Structure 1
Amino acid sequence: MDIKCSVFIAASVDGFIARPDGDIEWLHRPEYEAAQLSGVTYEGFIATVDALVMGRKTLEKVLSFPEWPYEGMPVIALSRQSVELPAHVQGKVEVVSADAVTLVKQLAERGMKHLYIDGGQTIQAFLEAGLIDELIITRIPLLLGQGIPLFSQVGHERELRHVGTYASQNGFVQSRYQVA
């Protein structure tokens, strides 16, 4: 199964990817938006990806955005329950009830080579299944104090190989790791 699974995500310095209610507005401050970033850009990363895999909660968050951010990108949402998709994403989102290993195998059989894995629980499930090859984590200079953690306190020890760390003038620190 020759398919790469990557995580590209932002987290507060204390390790949260969202506030307890799922809010991510803290990521969209004007001083962050205008900043020149060092390291791997989202545009550079997304250009290498064949499909985005996210969980239902992440999909619900993305559906609340004013516009669909993944135009032209296949999006697979993992959910054990049925999801009512709004008209503007019909045919753009595939809702699948499968475990990580089965899904990756199915996507590899469809010719996909690089998957973008997003959403706390989905990332954790893919890590637990040993499917994540690369983590690109951008630390945002903010302590949220509480929220949805990037990593759960359940799981196994994983050795990472540091690829590079890049600091931006706005205080973002991006580290890139390969999962051993």
Structure 2
Amino acid sequence: MLPPRLQGGRRSVLAAGVAALLLAAGCAQLPSGTRPQGTDAWSGRMSLRIDSQPVQTFSALFELRGSPETGELSLTSPIGSTLAQLHWSPGEALLKNGSETRRYESVDALIEAATGAAIPVGALFGWLAGRDDRVPGWRPDLGQIANGRLQATREAPSPTADLRIVFERS
């Protein structure tokens, strides 16, 4: 379910991109051995809760590939509809939803525009890999990483946010 402030029009496209930024599913995976060296891939499901007024929530299936510098994220609904695809490289982030493409200077700019909350994409790659990468205001819980579960809480700045991911590494 999309947050009320993201429902309809361009905000729903942005919300889908945020989910895409965080992870997605429904895109074909690279065949074994063809992934560029130095890139990672994860798939699963994720949810984001922002404790704003009103509370905003988002959940999706995802597939995330690449690195903090260059990558792609696909998001799908629980019934398999593609919500969004996100591709990024230095200086640019593209959010594709159907025939519409929106451009941003970075993945971080895309996420903040869509949610009002900055989500640390660079640290997300580290957290998924089991590294306790530090980001001011965020507290990752890596205690269940070996079981394919990640939780990260943004304590500052307000509003607080809770990111939960259940994943498999490809």
Measured against the shorter chain, the TM-score band is 0.3 to 0.5
Normalised TM-score (structure 1): 0.32
**Higher relative contact order (CA closer than 8 Å, sequence separation 6+):** 1
Larger Rg, first or second structure (1 or 2)? 1
Normalised TM-score (structure 2): 0.33
